[in-house]
Amino acid sequence: MTYPIVAGKPLLQLPDKLTRLGELAYNFWWTWNQEAGDLFRQLAPSLWETTGQNPVLMLGTISQWRLQELANDKGFLSNLEHVCRKFDEYMGNEQTWYKRTYGTTGETCTAYFSAEFGLTGCLPIYSGGLGVLAGDHLKSASDLGLPLVGVGLLYQEGYFHQCLRRDGRQSELYPSNDFHNIPIQLQRQEDGSPLIIEVGYSTHQVTIQVWHAQVGHVPLFLLDANLVANSAQDRQITNRLYGGDLNMRLCQEIVLGIGGIRALNAMGIQPTVCHMNEGHAAFAALERIRITMSQNHLSFAEARGLVSVSNIFTTHTTVLAGIDEFPPGLVDKHLCDYYSLLGLSCDEFLALGRRNPTDESEPFCMPVLAFRLSTQANGVSKLHGEVSRRLWQNIWTDLSEEEVPITSVTNGIHLRSWISGNTTGSLFDQYLGKHWRDDPSNVSIWQKIDNIPAEELWQAHEQCRERLVMVVRQRLRAQLRQQGAPPDEIRMADKALDPKTLTIGLARRFAEYKRPTLILHDPERLQRILTNRDHPVQIIFAGKAHPDDKIGKKLIQQIVHFTRRKGLYYQIAFIEDYDMTLARYLVQGVDIWLNTPRRPLEACGTSGMKAAANGVLNVSVLDGWWPEIYQPDIGWAIGCGEVYKDAKYQDEVESQAIYDILEREVIPLFYNRDNDNLPQNWIKRMKSTMQAICPRFNTDRMVREYYEHFYTPAIEQYKHLTTDG
Ligand SMILES: *Cc1c(COP(=O)(O)O)cnc(C)c1O
């Protein structure tokens, strides 16, 4: 299937010899292609950083003088040519996995819906793991050559920027995104006018425009309600990710699901398969049913049968408190006219979102709607599959827990986006060959890690740690300056952390179940560990708490207070505004990645995979993905997978376990050096970690699993049911 591509108006004024830079800037391919990223950096290194690694903004603000200089720079031009050749090869690849396996026959298209997408720092429309996973899904779909499109919302203010006050309190900033200066373009119609669609609420219509982000081969369509045609209130619908009240959330989900399908239809795309990443997008299933009914003169039940076989629903929740539910009155307010379009009464409609369809007191639950309208549903790790079957069993009252039709596909990461390209990645190129990039699930390729000399691997890693320490100092300085700290203290930031010291990273959303402060449980013991004169340890923390999450915010404060302890200033840092850019430095540069969720509440977790792919060792509770791979030669397990009734007691036991692991195993292993000052046994573990984790916990494997187990049967079922009209 071909997609309507944005009418090619020249958006950037570039000298002739540099015109292709514009093309590169507007395809997120550069985010996982080291050479392309380096090319932009080379253009203007400091501007690259100050624009937040945003090539469009950079090309829009760079001086004409500098551009002319580059247009005459033979070295730069030959780099540009090289990157363009790579880009053309990638875009024209006729040998993708999909083409080799399925050929080019059949007009199929999968639409992947998500409320957030994390592609890179300069498109801030994600909050955490769910969004980064969605972004990595698109990148791997592109690598594999799948006919897939993404659908999401374009938030005017995105997710908030975190700013910490002196006392550790979090404040939230909402700078407005300038859509014309990020690598997206308005989706236009053939006549050049912007594509506009309407989404109806019972009282009125909302006008939506569509933006197009190109991710390699995969288009991502982002819906935007901030138009003058809409009321002030409606313009807010796509203002903030996870912002506003329930009413706002419901309006957003109507735009995402119903608007998303309408937008695709307006572009001539009728998805064969629809993949809903979390329940936010579940209305897409209803809109597909509505369209199928009206196109084929079918009843709701008939259309539902057809649509359900080709819907896939992935759940990411582990607790009922964390899911989207709406009061029936609210649903009624916005959708009562929609019921009749589906040929349903109010009760019939609301029943679709209730565990017990006849219980009128039940709210309307988006995951329930998604489960009811998807033949295929899955959790995101084996353990989470089990948890989900238990959690949602009451939707299928006639089935036992084992029979509940929720399977699992374990999450992964897009390796090329997360592995440090110019250090570890270039060692891989040298010793594994280039195919680790396009065939990352091939176990035998990763076996060749044995061939990397210990010294070179260690050097590459130490380089990453040094770079991280530099970034941390820079950010601390900026943080302190902005807090109005005294000059002495700002100067102290220049000596914060040490580039040679064993470094622990703990960065995640600050949600209570993740227990980011567990390691502070016994402050005295922790302080002794950190300040050991011969074998010191340092910790870097980062993470945002949702603006309404008082507990999460308290946890941040607790850590900031701890960093102020006497004697710890140089040993511990909290870096504000955790995002993908900071995440990349962290997962590449620390030695230990610490993960302490309360089992079984972490659905999967992906940051530990990013760390492992860079040779960082995990110390983690056996939750989410970790039990699927943990073995003693690749990292450490906190506990044995117990589930506790008494949370206080659990924290006591598990925090002690962390200290024990650090004191008895991690620290000796790290500081036990040979004559060349190499920690040989540590390096062995780095290698085992990468060999075990890279080929399995990547999105290449994950997306193929979705394709083979879910999308393909869905396509076949759909075709089977539609062939004879
Ligand atoms: C990978 C990533 C996450 C997800 O990490 P978890 O292990 O699931 O907590 C969250 N935020 C950012 C910025 C990330 O890059």
Nearest CA to ligand 1 atom 5: 607
Could you tell me if 582 and 661 lie in one domain? Answer: yes
Of 595, 711, 697, 584, residue with least CA distance to 119: 584
Q: Ligand 1 pocket, 578 CB below 6 A?
A: yes
Using CA of residue 277, residue 279, residue 281, residue 287, what is the dihedral sign? positive
Q: Helix, strand, or coil here: 208? A: strand
Is 580's C-beta closer than 6 angstroms to any atom of ligand 1? yes
* CA angle (176, 547, 556) in 5-degree steps: 115
Same domain, 269 and 168: yes
Does some domain include residue 424? yes
Q: Is 172 helix (H, G, I), strand (E, B) or coil?
A: strand
Same-domain check for residues 317 and 184: yes
At 463 the pLDDT is 98
For residue 82, tell me if it sits in a domain. no
Instruction: Answer yes or no: do 688 and 716 share one domain.
Output: no
Do 357 and 486 reside in the same domain of the chain? no
Q: Are 262 and 182 within one domain? A: yes
Q: Does residue 353 lie in a domain region?
A: yes
597 and 710 in a single domain? The answer is no
Question: Strand 170-173 to strand 161-164: parallel, antiparallel, or no bridges (unpaired)?
Answer: antiparallel
Q: Which two tokens stand for residue 665?
A: 């195993």
pTM of the entire structure? 0.97
In the predicted model, residues of the chain with pLDDT beneath 70 are: 1-11, 105-106, 725
Q: Residue 725: its pLDDT value, please?
A: 65
**517-522 long-range contacts, Cβ below 8 Å, gap at least 24?**
517/555, 517/558, 517/559, 518/596, 518/651, 518/654, 518/655, 518/658, 519/594, 519/596, 519/655, 519/658, 520/558, 520/559, 520/562, 521/651, 521/652, 521/655, 521/656, 522/655, 522/656, 522/659
Residues spanned by the domain of 635: 415-695
Is residue 508 within 6 Å of ligand 1 at its C-beta? yes
Q: Which amino acid is at 187?
A: Q
The answer on 462 and 340 residing in a single domain is no
Q: Is there an atom of ligand 1 within 6 Å of 132 CB?
A: yes
Per the CB < 8 A criterion, the answer to whether 157 and 175 are in contact is: yes
Expressed in angstroms and rounded, the spacing between residue 198 Cα and the centre of ligand 1 is 34
Which whole-number Å values give the CA distances from 436 to 50, 205, 440, in the listed order? Answer: 32, 49, 5
Which residue from 32, 132, 162 has its CB within 8 A of the most atoms of ligand 1, so it is best to mutate?
Answer: 132
pLDDT of residue 321: 74
Q: The domain spanning residue 470 has which CATH number?
A: 3.40.50.2000
Contact between 305 and 341 (Cβ < 8 Å): no
| Residue 66: how many other CB atoms lie within 10 Å | 12
Ligand 1 proximity of 131 Cβ (cutoff 6 Å): no
H/E segment holding residue 267: none
